[in-house]
Amino acid sequence: MIAGSAGASVALLLERRKAAGAFLAGVSLVTLASEHREKLEALYEKLPDYIEQGKRLLETASQIGEQVSQLAERRLG
């Protein structure tokens, strides 16, 4: 049921049927949460760490982009 509703959700979202896709995504998440409560709780507890890591990754990518841009300006200028 989880895989089926998740797959159907993706298909509907790709067809731009947002409401139906979001509904099926919710069904999939609720089913997943009811069957794997402990794992979901562990993920919820680690979520702030994952967000912080993602934030650091984006900051690093932004800094690299700025440095590449500056190097390109020096070579073209």
User: What kind and span of H or E run contains 1?
Assistant: none
Q: Is 6 exposed, middle or buried (0-12, 13-18, 19+ CB in 10 A)?
A: middle
**Contact call for residues 43 and 27 (beta carbons, < 8 A):** no
Tens-digit pLDDT string for the chain (77 aa): 777 878 888 898 888 888 988 888 888 888 888 888 888 888 889 999 999 999 999 999 999 999 999 999 888 86
> pTM score, two decimals?
0.50
